[in-house]
Structures are given as structure tokens and as C-alpha cells.
Amino acid sequence: MKPLQIYNSLIRAVEEFVPLTPGVVTFYSCGPTVYLPQHLGNMRAYVFVDTLKRALRFNGYDVRHVMNITDVGHLTSDADAGEDKIEKTARAQGKSPLEVADFYIAQFKRDCAALNIELPSDAPAGDHPAPPQSALCRATGNIDAMIAVITRILANGHGYVTPSGVYFDVEKWRGPGGRGRLARQSLAEQHAGQRLEHSADKKSPHDFALWVLNQPHHLMQWDSPWGRGYPGWHIECSAMSMKYLGETLDIHSGGLDHIPVHHENEIAQSESATGHPFARYFVHNAFLVGMEGAKISKSAGRFPVLADLIAAGINPLAFRMLCLGAKYRSELAFSLESVRAAQSNLDYLNEFARNLNESALASEQDSAWAQEYAERFHQALNHDLNTPQAMAVVLEMVAQAYRLHDQRIWQTLRRFDQMLGLDLAKRLDEVRAGVLPPEVSRLVSEREKARADKNFARSDELRALIEAMDYVVKDTKTGVVVMPRRVAT
């Protein structure tokens, strides 16, 4: 099998992936800023992260994955201007920044779980084991690491201290007319059209804050060698990635929007501190578009979130399927129709899994014809994560099983599903155990109560939620019957 090939934004080409340490991959992904629910565009970015992680595992690698949670320092403009996003929400909701962050972190974790996105475990407080270690880490829990990196940047002459903050000297780092490593733009091109906050303290408007000082209204502040203040947004990713994974990462991911500013700045900070290359492969997902016009009633005035899909009776995993149905580097158009089409493909696979016969399940060896599909699947995946092609192979294999009346493909299908994360085995287990998943049972009980109270609007809402979990409710003369979708029809 051809080894995994991936598009590296640093060289703007697809190349073979080779980790620094054989068998182990260090992978850092820019995570959420927790001041609002994550919209479906954000969730596309995290489905991509999870897909890449699974593809690496599918290729036998031990993946050490770190994701940050931005709970301080991300201003409403990426260019050192505006308010701290978390503090802005805190003021608007009359809550503390910590309450805001905790609330949206819990929501983020729930959405990830519903989409089968496996997050690293929360970073332990205090001392941590030697890198590389997986961690989901909060900016506010890693201020010391940020101060340590800023100290190194200053010691190497790449930053300067002023009354309003510690700044990174971008022009010195880049050299005269120098271009960024990723966007390959000069500073003037990079910031064209942006209104830069030009503090009189900055040597150049392109310089950015590493540590902000003298902002007494800011709620979250820490002591530092330069005075009380708070970190800039970019420094958190440099500091946390290197703390948990080591000074040179194998892979760094984020959405395309991060290329010109955030990731350029991370590279500049990290490499000026350590003198080593920061990340060997930068990978970027393209955007989910068309959310503005999405006809999801409750989402008027904001981008749709996962809860909107669920309320519309759509299984969250159909959104995962939609993402997998497009190449990660292509824009993906969102609409309810497109996610419903993805759901019908998911239903097709679930239907097959739920109806597998005992002999197919018991067989440790799949039919020989499945091997060709296994190879094509792996090939598609290793060709820069061509998930639409891999998905087509899966659907084709199942169609072939129907055509040949030969269901002995379960071992292969299960392995594909470990990669795709569609929970086919779980659906099968539920049917075999003859039990409803606890969440479905809870919704059914709640719906019965709503019906008893004659609250039919709520009862309809609950029916949609149950259907989003792939179950169908029928009210019969003898009581309520709940069955997996499709099998029931």
C-alpha cells in the first residue's frame, strides 16, 4: 500500500507523510474559542481533525494529539484590536469569564461526542508527564508556559517591552520585504484592507502582542515579569503545542482562515524562541459555506449549530457523513437538502449493519471479494484523505453484498467504520441487544409525559429528536412502539 500522502501548506503540494519519530505522530490542532456555540462550519474543522487522526491510526501510527481551548486573549479582531471575546459575552450575559468558558466547553464536548469526534483527555493540572502527550488544554491553565516562551523570544531579541504590552518584532524576524512562510505574502499584502491597531508603542503596525499590559478593565489578568496583564491569542498555541508535544511538531492543523495571520505568527514566535522548525506539515481544511441561507427556522440571525439539525430530525452523524462526502480541501456547500442526502446514505449503511445475519457476524474471515474493496478504500484514504472516494467504495461494497446475497463483509466494514466513525457496530449492537439507547429511552418517556399533558408541540419536538437518533416512534392502540428507522418501515 502506498504510504499516506497529505497536502502540506508549507510546500503547497501533496507529499508523503513521514513522522519525525517512526511510528509516533505529534499532532496539534487549533481548537475553539469558547464564547458562543460552535457553528457547523467550526464543526467541519473538528470532523476533519478527527478524520485525519483516524487516518493516521488506520495507517498504524500512535497519535499524540493536542487541542487548545481559547478561554482568554482572543480579541474581536485578530489584529490586536477590540474586546476579549469571552469577556464580551461575560459582560453581555452577566456571568464571569470562567462561567462562560465552562458553559461553552461543555457544549463543545457534547457536540463533538454527538459527531463521534474523539477529543483528547483534559490536560491534568500541575506537572505534566514528558512530551509528547495528548491533551485538551485551556489557555488559562497554561499561562506559565506562555510566559516562558515570551521570555525566550525576548532573550533572542525578537520582541520588545513597552508600557502597553510586549510585542513581537515582525519586520526584524522576516527581514526587509520578507514573506510569510505559509501565505507567502509581504506584510503589506498580508494586512491589506485590514484596519490595524497602531498603538504608538509598536515599532510597526504589523507587530503583534505577546502579552498585553495596562488594561485595568480586563477581567482576567496574571502577574508576569513585565507586569500584570494577559497573553495575546497567538502565543497560546505556540506555548501549549510545544509544552505537550515537543519543540517540533509533525502536524499542525486549522481552518484556511488561519493561514495568513494566526499560523504565520505561531511559526514566527515558536521558531524565534527555539531556533528549530515548528511544524513539519501544516494542513488546512476548507470552509463550510452556504450557512447564511440555511433554512433552519431557529437559526435566523446566526449560523446553524448542531442542535438545529437535531431539532430538524437529522442524525448528527449525517453531518459527519456530509463532511466525509467532500474532500477536506474543497469548499463544502451546506443545505438541509445536502445533509438529508447524506443521511439517506447513512441509513443505507445502518440498515445493512442492523440486518446482518448470524453467519456473517460469526465469520472471522470475510469473502475473498471484499479484499479488493479494502485495498481501494485504503488507497483513497492515503491519497490526501480522499474521503468521498473512500465512501463511494464503502457504498459500492455494500451494494455488491446485496447483489451477491453474500453478507460476509462485516470485518472489512467494521474496519472501515473505525476510520469513518459512523457507529455502524453500535447500531448493530443495539438491535441485537433489543434495547433502546438510554438517550432514546429518556426522550420517549419525556414525550409520553408531554402527550399526557396535551403538550403536543413539545411532543412533536421530541419526536424529531428521537428521529435524529435514527429511531421511529409509532403511537398504536396498545401503546407507543419505538423501532430503529428503516427496519421499522
- The binding site for ligand AMP (CB under 6 A) comprises 30, 32-33, 41-42, 44-45, 254-255, 257-258, 285, 287-288
Rounded CA-CA distance 186/423 in Å is: 46
- In this complex, which beta carbon is closest to ligand AMP, that of residue 49 or of residue 443? 49
Rounded CA-CA distance 224/230 in Å is: 9
Rounded CA-CA distance 4/16 in Å is: 6
CB of 368 to ligand AMP, least distance (A): 41
CB of 293 to ligand AMP, least distance (A): 13
Answer whether 384's CB lies under 8 Å from 12's CB: no
CB of 132 to ligand AMP, least distance (A): 21
CB of 361 to ligand AMP, least distance (A): 38
Name which of ligand AMP, Zn ion, none residue 138 binds, using a CB cut-off of 5 to 8 Å depending on partner kind.
none
CB of 254 to ligand AMP, least distance (A): 4
Name which of ligand AMP, Zn ion, none residue 97 binds, using a CB cut-off of 5 to 8 Å depending on partner kind.
none
The residue ranges that bind Zn ion (CB under 5 A) are 30, 237
Name which of ligand AMP, Zn ion, none residue 394 binds, using a CB cut-off of 5 to 8 Å depending on partner kind.
none
- In this complex, which beta carbon is closest to ligand AMP, that of residue 42 or of residue 274? 42
CB of 278 to ligand AMP, least distance (A): 17
CB of 28 to Zn ion, least distance (A): 8
- Residue 147: CB partners within 8 Å, gap ≥ 6? 211, 224, 225
Selection from 175, 166, 205, 211 nearest residue 188 by Cα: 205
Radius of gyration of the chain (CA): 25
- In this complex, which beta carbon is closest to Zn ion, that of residue 8 or of residue 70? 70
Give first-to-last CA distance, the chain, whole Å. Answer: 42
CB of 256 to ligand AMP, least distance (A): 7
Please tell me whether the peptide bond between 277 and the residue prior to it is cis, using omega within 30 degrees of 0: no
- In this complex, which beta carbon is closest to ligand AMP, that of residue 384 or of residue 467? 384
- In this complex, which beta carbon is closest to Zn ion, that of residue 262 or of residue 485? 262
Name which of ligand AMP, Zn ion, none residue 238 binds, using a CB cut-off of 5 to 8 Å depending on partner kind.
none
- In this complex, which beta carbon is closest to Zn ion, that of residue 220 or of residue 235? 235
CB of 58 to ligand AMP, least distance (A): 23
CB of 176 to ligand AMP, least distance (A): 31
- In this complex, which beta carbon is closest to ligand AMP, that of residue 103 or of residue 287? 287
Name which of Zn ion, ligand AMP, none residue 237 binds, using a CB cut-off of 5 to 8 Å depending on partner kind.
Zn ion
- In this complex, which beta carbon is closest to ligand AMP, that of residue 146 or of residue 360? 146
- In this complex, which beta carbon is closest to ligand AMP, that of residue 209 or of residue 462? 209
What's the grid cell of residue 246? 515537543
- In this complex, which beta carbon is closest to ligand AMP, that of residue 42 or of residue 272? 42
Name which of ligand AMP, Zn ion, none residue 224 binds, using a CB cut-off of 5 to 8 Å depending on partner kind.
none
What's the grid cell of residue 210? 505577546
> Closest CB to ligand AMP belongs to which residue?
255
CB of 364 to ligand AMP, least distance (A): 41
Name which of ligand AMP, Zn ion, none residue 413 binds, using a CB cut-off of 5 to 8 Å depending on partner kind.
none
Answer whether 79's CB lies under 8 Å from 208's CB: yes
Name which of ligand AMP, Zn ion, none residue 257 binds, using a CB cut-off of 5 to 8 Å depending on partner kind.
ligand AMP
- In this complex, which beta carbon is closest to ligand AMP, that of residue 35 or of residue 410? 35
